[in-house]
Structure 1
Amino acid sequence: MCIFKCTMRSFLFLVVLCCKLRISVSVTCPNDCHWNGKCDTNSGKCQCFEGFIGNDCAVDCGCKGHGTCKSDNTCLCQDGWKWYAAQHKCIWDCQCPNGIQCIGPGICGCSTNCHQGTCWNGQCECFEGYSGNDCSHYNPNIMANKDVSVGINVGGLSYYSSELKYVDIAKLSQSWITQRTSGPNANKWDTNEQNLVNWRNDGYPASLQDNMRLGKLMLRSTIGLYAPKGNYTLLYDGEGDISFRFAHEHIMFNGKGRMVININEGKNGIDLILSRTNPANPVRNVRFIMPGFEDRYEKFPFYPPFLETIKRYSQLRYMDFLHTNGHTIYIEYSNEVWNGIFRQTHYTQEQGTKLNLDPQSWKAGMKYYNKRSSEIMQIWKTVFGSQPDKIVTVWAWQTGNQDYTRQAIEDLGNRTRNFKAIAITGYFDCNNLAGKHAAEMLNMSNIQMETYCNNQMSQSESSFQYFMDLAKKHGLKLLMYEGGPSIMEGSAIAQGLSHDDVTNKAIAFNRDQHIKSVVDNLLEAWYKIVINDPQNSSPGGLFNYFSSTGTPSKYGSWGMLEYTGQDPGTVPKYVATQSFITRHYSHSPVDIPCSFLQQSTLGYGCFLQKRGALRWRCAVTDDDGTTWSYYPDVGNTGDTLVLDGFNPTTYTVYVRSVNKIGVNKYHSIDTRTTNTWKTYTSFDYYSSVASRKTQRRLPNGVYNYLDTQARCS
């Protein structure tokens, strides 16, 4: 109710309006709930976080976000935690042997240092190429990307990216936007008042104005349709009020610093709202963890299906990942500095003009690129002087204009000694099919489009040969920094025009089986002319596909995959690229040759049988590998089988079958029945294997004598 008397003529118009509209005033809660709960401003009552009680939430039961209050004001701790009366709080609960300490809730540390790996529940998990109990032995022969001259451009970090790289979704969230809860800007999505926020050095607000809140989006657009659904965990340091919008969410646990939210997100994504923060202890370090990964996210931050789809590439290019087109970043001195649509191009032209390198701005920019990139490469070479093979210094210019590139590299002169390689592009647009020939394309079948596109391969071969000769002339290697399909209405879009029917036709072809031969022929042309050239050995020959993952649109179908978690075996561009790798680099394994684990007196394993015809099997032994009881076949008999874990509480064995081009299928079997295998999506599989209750396989190359019946080399 309005607190003023309407008959007092001296009050301002705002007060009169208040009375006429009978505006309500928010009610405060006692002691502001001690920041241990949220205030219901209608009733003036505190809604305490789990683990706190009292009318002002002053009583701390010691749960620390991992339990609920008991009647004696102690905590009923969650699984993996136990009550420690001496400190009145829940602590990690571990049953570790030989004095080994906990490293997480119910998670034991290791008795040895994991040199090239990470400790998890008593044993090391080795990085690719390393093996042994302490992950100290390097063995490139077990790496799926051994000597492979194919790389990938990984996508950027954004709230709308369809590539999920981290299990902590907050790493892919939007920057904070400002909003108002009242006043004339109350309905604005973004009031653009970031300059009014008192920001900390870590990017979080030190305080907020009374009617201001901050928001940030996550899992927006396409990825919201395909991202995992289930119980996400919000973790944060400090004190404040956080809530969510847009997604269909249900709060399962609401603790201080930790919330568990069941989310069934959609294309609108998830909007995280920070409505209050305690100036004495501000909210910070916000993490939003995918279902199943709360225990592992710190030690294993990357999303397993993402790693799975990039493991066969020998190089990763971080142009989008590091927002190179928004900032001038090095060791390939930025990206496409000749391209006028990017800020770095204007920067180099400005700098070159200031230095009077040439009266023409475009040429001044080119000369500045040569000057500055040479200087930067010298710095890198100085730093890595004792390990010169650790870096590849790259020079890149405009592939589409061959003579322009010739002029640019001639201007470089003897500064070519600062570089090891020239990098070009290798796109195919099917002779500008979606541009100049759009009307014709609309009447084509996918078979006709395939033929049309393959007819461009002679042009690609000529381009590769020209630049191969140019590189050799100047004593350099030849690489490709970007390549792949580029079927889009480029000129129409540049003029603000595009046509949905053309876009849809181009997207459909990029998804169709008939694009496989075009991608394959492009890779084969590169292999024949560039990789096979005896003067272009390592670090030459690398083909960097653009890009790993992306949502198709009128601007192009650049992503090999459309979203993380898509079945790659159903994606023609992915299959074509992986088939090329398998065909030319068959010496590289698709995964480890043998995988074992020990659980009490039992051993589990997946391996090629030593005797008889080569056949992958998974089995259990109770006599240290002397005899095995085999489970039913899973996958094709030629697939590599990888044992990832065993959950003794559910008696479940988790196994991946990996085909010859590295595509995974996911399975489990209940060892009490051993009749049929259950299949999974990639997310459901990895979230199950991530459980701390699931025992992971032994480190790479560690067999504990279980390999007597197996071919492991």
Structure 2
Amino acid sequence: MRKRFFGGSRVFASILLLAGSSAAGNSYALYNTSSPLGTNTNEVLEYDSSVPFLDLFKASLPFREGAPFLTKGKITYDRYGWPTSISPGGIVGTRVISKLHKDAIPRGHYTVLYEGQGKLEYGLDAKLVQHQSGRDVIYIDPGKDNLYNVKLTIKSTQQGNHLRNIRILPEGGICASNPFDRVAGATQCRKNDYLDFARNYKKIIFNPDYLKFMRDYKVIRFMNMSGITRNPIQHWADRPHVDNATWGGVEGVRGAPVEIMVELANRLHTDAWFNVPHAANNDYVRRFAYYVKQNLNPGLKVYIEYSNETWNGIFTQHAYMKQGSKRLGFTDEAVPGTKFYSKRSVEIFKIWEQVFGGNQRLIRTMAGLTGTSKLTEAMLKFQDAYKHVDAFAVAPYVFGETKALRSARSVAQVFQIMQDKRYGHSLPRVLEAVRKQSAMASKYGVDLIAYEGGQHLIDMKTKKEMQHPNPLFYKANRHPQMGTIYKKLLLGWKQAGGKMFTHFSSPRTYNRFGSKGVKEYITQPDNQAPKQMAIKGFIKSHPCWWQGCRDTSVRRTQKPQALTTAELSRKSGERPQPLPNSAEEQAARNRQAAQ
């Protein structure tokens, strides 16, 4: 009999003790014990309305990406991305926050801590109210548009003691026994239980509002947070580092360190879903696996997936798969690159098995297109790959048909199209495809899970936020009927034989690129977010139904220790290489590493 995952007992987020306090009486203690759902993280960006990190600077735009408008002149940088010198007349700038909803973060005073000598300036919705060496206080207030926009500029920096390690931290804190709720001060906590944000940011790390949202899920898929999409990274030394100035930036640059992702999973006691970058070499894969084995709580499972949507032609990883198949002489592929993807997936799974000493904690995951079970079979069948796979993942997205949606003139028509079986991506047709995928997965003895899923109202040909049909899509996502769609999708998934469903995605702002967030910002009340209401209702009404899923015991005496960013930095080992100053320098570095 093939192994089935989700066995073993869990330690809950409520017994994560940031400062040694007991939390056994908290009402959220058993939230993710029997949850049948997971969630996808968002990209680390200055406009991510899920706001995962307490230190706002960690999601800011890298200084070098501020050119030519925010950063000007000849600038040199240290290995972590802090400017070490600025040419005469030059400046170095970044966007710390961009177009965040007025309630996504608290308005008020923020403490800015920094090291080194130089001159800092704050702009847009941030005003300096107090200054002393190494510590500023700014006031952040949304503009007339009810959005937050904050920029920070380094006007000058002293060579040899350059400005660095900038942190931007809110007022207040948390009670150590409850990391999910902000409090104004120590009087709202038990004695010796208060942790002030500005003094304890290294230990707290995560935005309490973010933890509160994420705690309902049994698994977190870190694909976006890790920044693997269109990322050509090959070598472990080039990975994101805990001490980097920021973890934000453009595709191929941004990404949170694995140390941070493992720490988040440990604190919430959620299983972790990791995606291996498409060009990562075997040494990268092995070191990745080793860090996870050594540092992820031993009661947690690890989903391991090679890249993301390698069949999707909009991503560079698809071209990489095609080249791989061509290089190895693979032909007769349902989708170009399929055989290389299958082969490389198995190679990666075997490395993780070697590091973990078996596959008991691993959910070795392949992924494909929801609408074609033939592609699923091609991946699983090639060189008997299914013998090394535990789960096959699809993305059940519902929207109907794009051309029909362009003709819609009301929200009612949008919902009609989403449920009209004439359209290939309508709810009934998607569930029909899920049933076929379930049968194919059963044929090869693997579980059917969802790596993403939900509504997918988007028209990529639009160029402006308010261009038709985008406003109808926003309204539809805010309408109670969308909650009904989600309930039907999730129930249909269960009835078709699907197991873990990892929805897409965490809170994010609606725009012309989609209305993907289950909420529009992290603190949006659930009763204003129909998708969120449907998801939480499903978790409560449909505890996970497959064998080995539910936890049968709770080891309340096992208390995972929260690590500080300093401790995580030391765990990461070697320092990152200095940032390349050009594409030519990066290419030369890659050639040298390959020798």
- TM-score category (smaller protein): 0.5 to 0.7
Matching residue of 1:680: none
CA separation of 1:190 and 1:511: change in aligned 2, threshold 3 A: same
CA separation of 1:140 and 1:404: change in aligned 2, threshold 3 A: farther
* 1:212 paired residue among 62, 82, 90: 90
Q: Is the aligned partner of 1:548 residue 2:548?
A: no
Matching residue of 2:155: 275
Q: Is the 8 A contact 2:112 2:137 kept in 1?
A: yes
Q: CA deviation at 1:191?
A: 6.0
* 1:189 paired residue among 69, 92, 100: 69
Matching residue of 1:379: 351
* 2:469 paired residue among 478, 499, 502: 502
Amino acid at match of 2:231: H
Q: Is the aligned partner of 1:479 residue 2:449?
A: yes
Task: Report matched runs for 1:305-324 at 5 Å.
Answer: 305-324=209-228
Task: Report matched runs for 1:311-710 at 5 Å.
Answer: 311-327=215-231, 329-330=275-276, 331-358=304-331, 363=335, 365-385=337-357, 388-410=359-381, 412-429=382-399, 431-432=400-401, 434-439=402-407, 441-442=408-409, 444-446=410-412, 449-455=414-420, 456-490=426-460, 492-493=461-462, 500-531=467-498, 541-585=499-543
Task: Report matched runs for 1:214-293 at 5 Å.
Answer: 214-223=92-101, 226-251=104-129, 253-266=130-143, 267=147, 269-292=149-172, 293=197
Amino acid at match of 2:92: L
- SS of the residue 2:497 aligns to: helix
Q: CA RMSD in A?
A: 3.1
Q: CA deviation at 1:171?
A: 0.9
- SS of the residue 1:515 aligns to: helix
Q: Is the aligned partner of 1:159 residue 2:124?
A: no
CA separation of 1:140 and 1:504: change in aligned 2, threshold 3 A: closer
Amino acid at match of 2:40: N
CA shift digits 1:40-70 (9 cap, x unpaired):
xxxxxxxxxxxxxxxxxxxxxxxxxxxxxxx
Q: CA deviation at 1:275?
A: 1.7
Q: Is the 8 A contact 2:449 2:500 kept in 1?
A: yes
Q: Is the aligned partner of 1:294 residue 2:198?
A: yes
Task: Report matched runs for 1:70-149 at 5 Å.
Answer: 117-120=16-19, 123-124=20-21, 142-149=29-36
Q: CA deviation at 1:424?
A: 0.4
Amino acid at match of 2:362: I
Amino acid at match of 1:460: V
- SS of the residue 2:452 aligns to: strand
Tell me the distance in 2 between the aligned counterparts of 1:141 and 1:220. 32
- Rg larger in 1 or in 2? 1
CA separation of 1:147 and 1:115: change in aligned 2, threshold 3 A: closer
- SS of the residue 1:273 aligns to: strand
Tell me the distance in 1 between the aligned counterparts of 2:312 and 2:347. 21
Return the structure number with greater helix share: 2
Q: CA deviation at 1:287?
A: 0.6
CA separation of 1:445 and 1:419: change in aligned 2, threshold 3 A: closer
Tell me the distance in 2 between the aligned counterparts of 1:414 and 1:350. 22
Q: CA deviation at 1:175?
A: 0.7
Tell me the distance in 2 between the aligned counterparts of 1:141 and 1:171. 28
Q: Is the 8 A contact 1:421 1:476 kept in 2?
A: yes
Return the structure number with greater strand share: 1
How many matched pairs? 435
CA separation of 1:477 and 1:238: change in aligned 2, threshold 3 A: same
Q: CA deviation at 1:226?
A: 3.8
CA separation of 1:281 and 1:565: change in aligned 2, threshold 3 A: same
Q: Is the 8 A contact 1:548 1:559 kept in 2?
A: yes
CA separation of 1:192 and 1:274: change in aligned 2, threshold 3 A: closer
Amino acid at match of 1:436: A
Kindly indicate whether structure 1 or structure 2 has the higher relative contact order, using CA contacts under 8 Å at least 6 residues apart: 2
- SS of the residue 1:416 aligns to: helix
CA shift digits 1:69-89 (9 cap, x unpaired):
xxxxxxxxxxxxxxxxxxxxx
CA shift digits 1:625-675 (9 cap, x unpaired):
xxxxxxxxxxxxxxxxxxxxxxxxxxxxxxxxxxxxxxxxxxxxxxxxxxx
- SS of the residue 1:235 aligns to: strand
Tell me the distance in 2 between the aligned counterparts of 1:343 and 1:586. 36
Amino acid at match of 2:21: C
Tell me the distance in 1 between the aligned counterparts of 2:127 and 2:71. 26
Could you list the runs of 5+ residues in structure 2 that have no partner in the other structure? 1-12, 173-196, 233-274, 277-303, 421-425, 555-595
Amino acid at match of 1:399: T
Tell me the distance in 2 between the aligned counterparts of 1:140 and 1:570. 23
CA separation of 1:353 and 1:249: change in aligned 2, threshold 3 A: same
Q: Is the 8 A contact 1:153 1:547 kept in 2?
A: yes
- SS of the residue 2:475 aligns to: helix
CA separation of 1:224 and 1:240: change in aligned 2, threshold 3 A: farther
CA separation of 1:428 and 1:577: change in aligned 2, threshold 3 A: same
Farther off after superposition, 171-180 or 477-486: 171-180
CA separation of 1:314 and 1:486: change in aligned 2, threshold 3 A: same
Q: Is the 8 A contact 1:167 1:301 kept in 2?
A: yes
Tell me the distance in 2 between the aligned counterparts of 1:119 and 1:457. 44
Amino acid at match of 1:477: D
Tell me the distance in 2 between the aligned counterparts of 1:142 and 1:399. 35
What TM-score, normalized to structure 1?
A: 0.57
Q: Is the 8 A contact 1:392 1:421 kept in 2?
A: yes
What TM-score, normalized to structure 2?
A: 0.68
Q: CA deviation at 1:240?
A: 1.6
Q: CA deviation at 1:325?
A: 1.3
Q: Is the 8 A contact 1:428 1:485 kept in 2?
A: yes
Q: Is the 8 A contact 2:70 2:94 kept in 1?
A: no
- SS of the residue 2:403 aligns to: coil
CA separation of 1:115 and 1:519: change in aligned 2, threshold 3 A: closer
Tell me the distance in 2 between the aligned counterparts of 1:141 and 1:228. 23
- SS of the residue 1:313 aligns to: coil
Q: CA deviation at 1:320?
A: 1.2
Matching residue of 1:170: 57
Farther off after superposition, 226-235 or 498-507: 498-507
Tell me the distance in 1 between the aligned counterparts of 2:84 and 2:199. 29
Percentage of pairs with the same residue: 25
CA separation of 1:289 and 1:559: change in aligned 2, threshold 3 A: same
Q: Is the 8 A contact 2:41 2:220 kept in 1?
A: yes
Q: CA deviation at 1:205?
A: 2.1
- SS of the residue 1:326 aligns to: coil
